[in-house]
Structure 1
């Protein structure tokens, strides 16, 4: 088996385990709350095999793109037998129902945290306190961009080298204004084509200023349009201590901090998800595929193989952690049939009954899911449609991390 095939297989297995453990999170909390779990299945479609243990049927279905944990009385539309009634989810306290509904999300976060902790004590994780100063790795010539990935060949010294900028210099300011990192420096230089830029440089124990003419060059935006930008011909050096390995105790704090950063980034990515779908659809018909756009399980599996082929195993496991965080946050979106949609209904019942109690009325019982069925069907259909389009894009125009 090639490294690519092994990586693809292992990442597909990781996705399957992620789904299985998400549903197991629901199952274990339901059991702890004495609810009746009827079925625990991985996948959808025809059943490949199943077995029964106690009151629960366990099994695997043909399409491993999801899974489900069927709990008796999960909604008011679900018929329960007299024997199931004491163990029905809808007859349990509201807080137990929310705990069960949140079990899968909690499991995904726990998996992600465990992966990050494992990396922190072995291969290392990004150091939040790393020195990200704009350190020059090398000086280069400058030329126009010819396509999404390449610039035209060039030779000789660029403006920065001609002005005296050297590898190892740390650029602290641009035109008298502080510079925090190399990305900020690049973005600000882009806005200065044809002008002179005064660089405040730290060179060993010396502080020097160098005036560099900013050369106009052609750059392409995400749609392929030509833009005139400024460039001086420098490339960044890797940040010092960008990846750090921690001891078992120290890794706890580092893992917590990095997990918070990943969850924040995942939340921003989730918010941007709808706006990126049109570009994915366009990529099916020859448009450029954005590297930070959404991918399906097919695309993730392919990238897993690509990462393994380049022996980037830390990235492999970081992708699995990110996948778990994405599934956790995606599932708390307050729309049925997602877990967050069911939690929203339980909270509605709680608020409704509090209002009724204030009016001297008895609790109204479980909410009627009937009016929500069209919304549930629409959301499910939309997710299937978007998921199908992303899978097609991952087949005909996949995201590639390595070129």
Structure 2
């Protein structure tokens, strides 16, 4: 059964990734056709074509390597400004690569389509076409997160007791303790609190929210009066609260993490943030949680926080490469915050399904990860380097600025920005991406990131 669930999780994640890629390319295709640009191919994946069909002038299909996708638009590169040989001189290797790319963008240009080329469109139209792909990823992420935050809801702690711990164990060693032998009972256990009790008062003060109860408990010490609701009846209890080392929290109940001299969070050997510890009142319970939907504003705030996190992860990506290489070839430990590829993210999907969690929890984790993938696709594709969408956008934006300046100074309109001259840079970027993808593949196969140990 575990194997079956793992396979189902992997398949679901692969399908989700393929849909995200197809959705991204649909943004390019739709806007390009809207502006009259001829599109000859709409493909999910690269390499050999596995399946395709033609409708009108466009071939739609799936290719063998699911590392992305593309929409082939004719005339992506503007015509050369000078003749190839410039008086018989041999082209430089850089220029030859640029001209090869230029020729490839005109291969499927028919005489009747001379005015349907990408470069001929106004810069603002080209910006829209190239932004539409990453923009579709943001839209998909927003839909997924709306379903998660406003539909399924997020776990929120309540004032109901979920678990009463039997004995006192410091938070720093709780994962290492298997038995309560020789350890004192927790105040909650000793006072007769039960799972299912709802804490309604602590020290004479009402606790309508979890944070109220939690903060009052942490601030208390010694005999403290409690009122709990059990089976519809209010029961007063006196609990002798003791001190214990627990993770520090803010006034809002959020955990506080250790930071270094630069203000960055300190992480352990597995890449998880380290809690700041403090001595506070200890009752010995775990509050129950329930799922509650967020408001639109709260959901938007959560999505904004995720976008910031994705941007930070993208910025930190180069610093993670040595760790991935070490995990792939040197047997080094793979940290929880290590980058993962398609195989790695699919394995994580299988791992989530195999845990046998409640359906809502499983769906929430998978939706959140898939939304994060789409936000990453947006941020990554917005980088202003070819062959990414951001590279083409940078060229169109620069041309727009040049045209605006020429109009302002009453000069002739400048020629289109020749992005073909950056083709060698694009080849270098693609080569680096492929090498990193292979390293990720090896690491994901033989030293994968594991969320559940």
* 1:8 aligns to 2:56 (yes or no): no
Following TM superposition, by how much is the alpha carbon of 1:230 offset from its aligned partner in structure 2, in angstroms? Answer: 6.9
Which of 434, 437, 440 is residue 387 of structure 1 equivalent to? 437
Following TM superposition, by how much is the alpha carbon of 1:155 offset from its aligned partner in structure 2, in angstroms? Answer: 4.8
2: distance between equivalents of 1:230 and 1:125? 26
CA contact (8 A) 1:144 1:152 kept: no
Following TM superposition, by how much is the alpha carbon of 1:232 offset from its aligned partner in structure 2, in angstroms? Answer: 6.6
CA contact (8 A) 2:270 2:336 kept: no
Task: Structure 2 unaligned segments of length 5 or more: list them.
Answer: 79-101, 200-210, 228-238, 247-265
1:12-39 CA-partner distances (Å, limit 9, x unpaired):
1111111111111110111112211111
Following TM superposition, by how much is the alpha carbon of 1:3 offset from its aligned partner in structure 2, in angstroms? Answer: 1.4
State the number of aligned residues. 361
Which of 234, 245, 258 is residue 302 of structure 2 equivalent to? 258
2: distance between equivalents of 1:392 and 1:264? 29
2: distance between equivalents of 1:137 and 1:337? 57
Partner of 2:335 in structure 1? 290
Which of 273, 280, 284 is residue 324 of structure 2 equivalent to? 280
* 1:245 aligns to 2:293 (yes or no): yes
CA gap of 1:36–1:152, structure 2 versus 1, over 3 A, is: same
Residues 270-349 of structure 1: matches in 2 within 5 Å? 270-284=314-328, 285-309=330-354, 310-311=356-357, 312-349=362-399
1: distance between equivalents of 2:285 and 2:72? 53
SS at match of 1:86: coil
SS at match of 2:112: coil
Which stretch shows the higher mean deviation, 40-49 or 93-102?
A: 40-49
CA gap of 1:125–1:35, structure 2 versus 1, over 3 A, is: farther
CA gap of 1:131–1:277, structure 2 versus 1, over 3 A, is: farther
2: distance between equivalents of 1:278 and 1:7? 29
Following TM superposition, by how much is the alpha carbon of 1:369 offset from its aligned partner in structure 2, in angstroms? Answer: 2.2
Following TM superposition, by how much is the alpha carbon of 1:68 offset from its aligned partner in structure 2, in angstroms? Answer: 0.6
2: distance between equivalents of 1:126 and 1:261? 17
Q: TM-score, normalised by structure 2?
A: 0.68
CA contact (8 A) 1:116 1:125 kept: no
SS at match of 2:323: helix
CA gap of 1:212–1:367, structure 2 versus 1, over 3 A, is: same
CA gap of 1:292–1:165, structure 2 versus 1, over 3 A, is: farther
Partner of 2:73 in structure 1? 71
Q: TM-score, normalised by structure 1?
A: 0.76
* 1:200 aligns to 2:248 (yes or no): no
1:130-169 CA-partner distances (Å, limit 9, x unpaired):
799xx99856434987xxx96476756779969x999999
Following TM superposition, by how much is the alpha carbon of 1:401 offset from its aligned partner in structure 2, in angstroms? Answer: 1.4
CA gap of 1:121–1:358, structure 2 versus 1, over 3 A, is: closer
- Aligned-pair Cα RMSD in Å: 4.1
Following TM superposition, by how much is the alpha carbon of 1:361 offset from its aligned partner in structure 2, in angstroms? Answer: 2.2
* 1:98 aligns to 2:127 (yes or no): yes
Partner of 1:178 in structure 2? none
2: distance between equivalents of 1:93 and 1:58? 27
1:47-89 CA-partner distances (Å, limit 9, x unpaired):
2232222111112212222111011112223334442222111
Between structure 1 and structure 2, the one with the greater Rg is 2
CA gap of 1:66–1:230, structure 2 versus 1, over 3 A, is: closer
CA contact (8 A) 2:152 2:364 kept: yes
